[in-house]
Structure 1
Amino acid sequence: MSSRSTSTPQARISIGEAMDRLVRGGLPVRFTAYDGSSAGPPDAEIGLHLTNQRGLSYLMTAPGDLGMARAYVSGDLDLVGTHPGDPYEALVLLKDHTKFRMPGPSEALQIARGLGLSHLRPPAPPPQEHLPRWRRAVEGLRHSMMRDAEVISHHYDVSNRFYEMVLGPSMAYTCALYEAPDATLEEAQSAKFDLVARKLDLQPGQRLLDVGCGWGTMVRHAAREYGVRALGVTLSLEQAQWAKEAIDREGLGDLAEVRHLDYRDVVETGFDAISSIGLTEHIGVRNYPSYFGHLRDRLKPGGRLLNHSITRRHNRRQETGAFIDRYVFPDGELIGSGTIVAAAQDQGLEVQHSENLRLHYASTLRDWNRNLVENWDECVAEVGEGTARVWGLYIAGSRVGFERDEVELHQVLATRNHADGRSDFPMRPTW
């Protein structure tokens, strides 16, 4: 005698219904999916469209920021009503709405079955995604020289031509200084480098060390505008090669030099000044003592150090988000300016001045997004649409973070004093 199953088939759940149930606070944009379902306000000017089942699998296997980033970078999730080179308006709306709420076990099972359990098998991540932290830990200690070189290459050795189109002629990949609201990006970058030079009180014939020099813009500015003998070091081979060509092109070879080198391998001493513009984010908070100690030892007594870096609004240790860690700055770490000041002081440096340029970075990012949009087709041809999407998302998202004071940008100026306490610093700043 046979028995017949009395179980009923699991009711299907539309993708739109699932999004409505899972997104905390509801969707502020219009969401549509390949199954014909939708969610969110029908009259929204900005929308998201899920194009295929792989995109659904990304969302289900990494719910929240990482899954949405994977689907977006792969082209499985499209923005509607905004350009992929500048998704700023969409990110302003989506801020605080990309975290899925955690349903109870029975509801989670119901949703998973309703959408299809086959989608719980994670697809391979996009090729732009770096290894997760635990995998990187297996392959080398965090912030070891070998691992730092690898992750720096991941970010900076993309394509010099791509960076030229996004960053503009200055090839400056750090916060600019907008002395007027209508200043161009090039004017603002020049003003930033000149502010650094004036804070360091550069004089003709002095020696400058620029650690994490990028494409050598500070090195060339100091040599060209101040007659300084400048040495820059970078872990990116492509940056070093580009910088050397720019130095030769500008006829600065007698004053400026860029080496493909870890800052920890710089052995020269007696520098009058050291600039570090955008390096501290990469070295790791636990390495601050050795970092500031090494730079102190490169300075002569009375020399100055200018540390320019992205910071947090607080001094608590906090890992970067999954998207930034996997796609943009693997192993990057941020902390508050107070920690930077304390680390410099603990290594015997006297901190003379600290300045927050947070809103200037928001303007810088706005202009980088604008460049990416204007050069979109060429950028896609150069690095592929997936990488171009990563950059549009990263730049626009960072702009939102600076505007909301989630991250800041501090310049900290310090001196290595003489044995008798003299700093050679004036009673009041001169810049």
Structure 2
Amino acid sequence: MTVDGEQTPAPTGRLSLAQVLETLSADGALPLRFTAYDGSSTGPDDAPLGLELLTPRGTTYLATAPGDLGMARAYIAGDLDVHGVHPGDPYPLLKALADDLHLHWPSPRALAGIVRAIGIGHLVPISPPPQEARPRWRRMAEGLRHSRSRDASAIHHHYDVSNDFYAWVLGPSMTYTCAVYPDPDATLEQAQENKYRLIFDKLRLRPGDTLLDVGCGWGGMVRYAARRGVRAVGATLSAEQARWAQRAIADDGLSDRAQVRHCDYRDVTESAFDAVSSIGLTEHIGVANYPAYFGFLRSRLRPGGLLLNHCITRPDNRSEAAAGEFIDRYVFPDGELTGSGRIVSEIQDAGLEVLHTENLRHHYQLTLRDWCANLVTYWDDAVAEVGQATAKVWGLYMAGSRLGFEKNVIELHHALAVKDDRGTGLPLRPWWRP
């Protein structure tokens, strides 16, 4: 009998859950120890890493959403446990699964045996963990994709978690974008400071210049520029970010030349800025909206003004833009990525001249490594603040993203562009000190 996904163990004679995994494994070799609530197990006895399926509900999650979404649901709900890694940084286990676990689609006869083993009741979907956002088709109640109301809802889902939680994960800089490491031994704080320095120098900012930072987060770029005499305006859709940034600006004595507004970037009416920075916002815009987005950014610049676009990209320009199911449901609802070539084309088509592009993929690996290390250090505080399930989402998301950058599934690109450069004094050969 099955009630809300719960089912008694399979009768003798059927495949055990461990045998189901063995059947799905292409070569029968498992890189870890797997144990299940039906008493079965497989994999090396001395394996340092392990997965433990604790409940029948976990089987339902795995069976009804094969792949990363089902595993994430079971893990986040507490039905699938990990051994040999900290939940704040499951990177070693994810890497072992990606490198050494090779699954295949079974034959019809083997598939029938799997269905008999797990029971037909486990093929009926059940409610996901409450941390999961609704599927894309059910978000229509929040507006059309990338409408103002739906964008605000998506930003709230991800960024209004808890400023204290973000402070533990991100460190004192409160910077939630890829750092740039001046050397392999640099600290996270040194690397984030260096990232802001690099963007500041690429934009050729000088005291008295004006900067618009769209999607400014907690105001890191705004405050960096303002400390160097630049008049900076930031815009964020997150109320929590805006409150934190406004307080930090006041505490730093920068209120005379820095401000962060809680608003849609499209609500910024000023123009003729010397520079515009977009650091980690393009991922939220939607590929179909790039023409309007880059057109708007161009309209905010003076002639000769510079744009720096910093965003996660795909390694090609043909892949599906929408994020995978786990990322879309638990991390970035409605997030979309495309290749750097598409980004450059859209910037050019908006009437800007692209001067320089740069791939910082390896730097994001290091950034995520350090964010996971922070989450491990402050795990108990984080769990007390946001709950164990949400903390596990973040550990899984950051460790998985680190693996994605490592394997070049995703990249991070800078694109520097200028509006109407007509002898405005740009150097013949840009060079940015390390």
Same fold at TM > 0.5: yes
Post-superposition Cα deviations, 1:253-289, rounded to whole Å, max 9, x if no partner, equal 1011000111122111010000100001110111111
Post-superposition Cα deviations, 1:280-339, rounded to whole Å, max 9, x if no partner, equal 111011111111100000000010000001111101131321111111111111111111
Shift of 1:216: 0.4
2:258 is the alignment partner of 1:256: yes
Cα distance between partner residues in 2 of 1:25 and 1:414: 50
8 Å CA contact retained: 1:30, 1:46: yes
Map of 1:296 onto structure 2: 298
8 Å CA contact retained: 1:415, 1:423: no
Q: Give the residue type in structure 2 aligned to 1:366.
A: R
Shift of 1:389: 0.5
Cα distance between partner residues in 1 of 2:75 and 2:330: 12
Question: What is the TM-score normalised by the length of structure 2?
Answer: 0.93
Post-superposition Cα deviations, 1:387-427, rounded to whole Å, max 9, x if no partner, equal 00010011011111111111111111000015xx4353221
Map of 2:425 onto structure 1: 424
Post-superposition Cα deviations, 1:211-233, rounded to whole Å, max 9, x if no partner, equal 00000010000001x20010000
Indicate which of 396, 404, 417 corresponds to 2:407.
Answer: 404
Post-superposition Cα deviations, 1:134-164, rounded to whole Å, max 9, x if no partner, equal 2124642111111111011100010110000
Indicate which of 275, 278, 289 corresponds to 1:276.
Answer: 278
Indicate which of 232, 245, 257 corresponds to 2:247.
Answer: 245
2:162 is the alignment partner of 1:159: yes
Map of 1:337 onto structure 2: 340
Shift of 1:100: 5.3
Q: Give the residue type in structure 2 aligned to 1:50.
A: L
Equivalenced residues, count: 420
The equivalences for 1:177-188 within 5 A come to: 177-188=180-191
2:67 is the alignment partner of 1:64: yes
Shift of 1:25: 4.7
Shift of 1:28: 1.8
Runs of 5+ in structure 1 lacking a partner? 1-8
Deviates more, 1:97-106 or 1:382-391: 97-106
Post-superposition Cα deviations, 1:324-376, rounded to whole Å, max 9, x if no partner, equal 11111111111111111111111110111111111011000000000000000
2:207 is the alignment partner of 1:204: yes
2:388 is the alignment partner of 1:385: yes
Post-superposition Cα deviations, 1:190-222, rounded to whole Å, max 9, x if no partner, equal 000011001001111111000000000100000
Indicate which of 305, 308, 312 corresponds to 1:306.
Answer: 308
SS at match of 2:355: strand
Indicate which of 25, 29, 34 corresponds to 1:31.
Answer: 34
Cα distance between partner residues in 1 of 2:170 and 2:244: 14
Question: What is the TM-score normalised by the length of structure 1?
Answer: 0.94
The equivalences for 1:304-383 within 5 A come to: 304-318=306-320, 319-383=322-386
Deviates more, 1:256-265 or 1:367-376: 256-265
Deviates more, 1:56-65 or 1:104-113: 104-113
Q: Percent identity?
A: 63
Cα distance between partner residues in 2 of 1:25 and 1:373: 34
Cα distance 1:180–1:18, how it changes in 2: closer, same or farther (>3 A)?
Answer: same
Map of 1:229 onto structure 2: 231
Post-superposition Cα deviations, 1:31-57, rounded to whole Å, max 9, x if no partner, equal 111111112233321000011111111
SS at match of 2:311: strand
8 Å CA contact retained: 2:14, 2:113: no
Cα distance 1:273–1:18, how it changes in 2: closer, same or farther (>3 A)?
Answer: same
Shift of 1:97: 6.6
Cα distance between partner residues in 1 of 2:333 and 2:102: 22
8 Å CA contact retained: 1:233, 1:263: yes
Runs of 5+ in structure 2 lacking a partner? 1-10
Cα distance between partner residues in 2 of 1:31 and 1:354: 45
Q: Give the residue type in structure 1 aligned to 2:286.
A: G
2:142 is the alignment partner of 1:143: no
Map of 1:133 onto structure 2: 136
Shift of 1:123: 2.5
Cα distance between partner residues in 2 of 1:138 and 1:97: 42
